[in-house]
Chain A
């Protein structure tokens, strides 16, 4: 910062006022602005008005570096095992009084408390950082992978997506915590990341730098960086499959106390239960290759039936297909705590 102090003679104060004006920003007066304070005095001697006098003092406003990173949504991102490109959303805001670049890093936390309760116990893979290029707040193919934010103006903010893949081996309740850190770098050159910033050790001619950021999730105060955490919480479907059969009728006894003799009709029930607290299972496809010594009863498949306790109710709606000696059916989504069945009949050869 340079400062000059001048003693002025009879000078029009109006010209000096113009020098002192500069636009005001919410983050503050722009770095490099000069603040000129000018005073003018009018007076009389012996009842006669004298020429007015002025004095002024000028100094330069320095660069105050401040940045915040906030997690958007205030909750963990719910993911499935094996999910690709699971997204957590952050917002980086430049609270400095200057246009700056911001280096972005996404780190996997290793154990310890997660952002939204629980404990971090796994890491994702293929971690990438994207900037919300079209400003819609949603991660889409239009967004750009970045390693830094280029030329973010004072008061400017950008939405950042941290994207990673979830290992297929994770189970419900597993948590991966990521830390997004934005570190202020010098702005001024579009298309390349500027130099690292430090608080100026000495007061130089020109604009000095003061790091004035607060401490974030993993960074210290006044280090030019700010960090925030978000979690990926695994919610898996926990399906159990049970296959039961009963003899419906035989050629000798009919439906009264039937026995599994050749020609008897067997009813198979495949029940699929999703445990309480699990994610809803979707696109459930059931395939049952029949043993060679039974013959499928045409159009006997019933889908989305129910159970009473552990007893198959053998209800549902007709559907499914039979091909290559395999019964195939697609069930509706199964929410946590719900059981659905696929029922079909066959005869013993």
Chain B
């Protein structure tokens, strides 16, 4: 694998440092940074016990379970409000589990809600309860992000 990551911006310490660096010059025009990452969950047997470890996506085949992570930070010196992170699911993956903490969309991002409350039309024209494989988008909403605040948003998915 060629892991080609130009800048690893978002360890939390680095985020703070960058935040300071930009504070004067950019006057917080774009105070927010995002960083996407993906890892593969591999089950390895260690001393006879099965154990799940996270590995870089060097080898990914259908059926593999992936952990998508989005690290965010407010690098500015002003608080950020209504921080809404929208993540369309890549077509070749399906959501592995409804882990909560986010809303989902089953209609291409038009409407969002809890998965249990959503329905989709089936072939017969009636509506059925939405399933994990129907999910097209995930959305996290953070009402308030203090200056220098950083965190990570995660979801698990399985390669179709």
Interface residues of A (CB under 8 A from B): 1-7, 9-10, 13, 16-17, 20-22, 24-25, 27-29, 33, 35-47, 50-51, 53-57, 59-64, 97, 200, 203, 205, 208, 210, 212
Contact of B93 among A35, A50, A56, A210 (CB under 8 A): A35
How far is A33 from B91 in the complex, measured between Cα atoms in Å?
10
* Minimum CB–CB distance for A346 against chain B, Å: 81
> What residues on A are CB-neighbors of B63 within 8 Å?
28, 64
In the complex, A43→B140 CA distance in Å? 12
Q: Are A38 and B87 interface neighbours, CB within 8 A?
A: yes
Contact B30 A50 (CB under 8 A): yes
Known A-B contacts A22-B92, A97-B61; the reply to A57 vs B30 at CB < 8 A is no
How far apart are the CA atoms of A51 and B2 in the complex, in Å?
32
User: Measured between alpha carbons, how far is A24 from B91 in the docked complex, in Å?
Assistant: 8
Mark B residues whose CB is within 8 Å of A.
Answer: 1-7, 9, 28, 30-38, 56-63, 66, 68, 70, 72, 76, 78-93, 145, 153, 159-160
B34 A43 Cβ-Cβ under 8 A: no
Does the CB pair A41–B83 fall under 8 Å?
yes
A44 contact set on B, CB distance < 8 A:
80-82
Flag if A13 contacts B4 (CB, 8 Å).
no
Bound complex: CA A60 to CA B69 (Å):
17
Residues of B within 8 A of A20 (CB): 88, 90-92
Q: Are A41 and B59 in touch, CB under 8 angstroms?
A: no
Q: Give Cα distance in the complex from A41 to B30, angstroms.
A: 12
Asked if A28 and B160 sit within 8 Å, CB to CB, the answer is yes
Bound CA span A59–B82, Å = 30
Measured in the bound complex, the distance between the Cα atoms of B79 and A46 in whole Å is 7
Whether B159 pairs with A28 at a CB distance below 8 angstroms is yes
State whether A41 touches B34 (Cβ < 8 A). yes
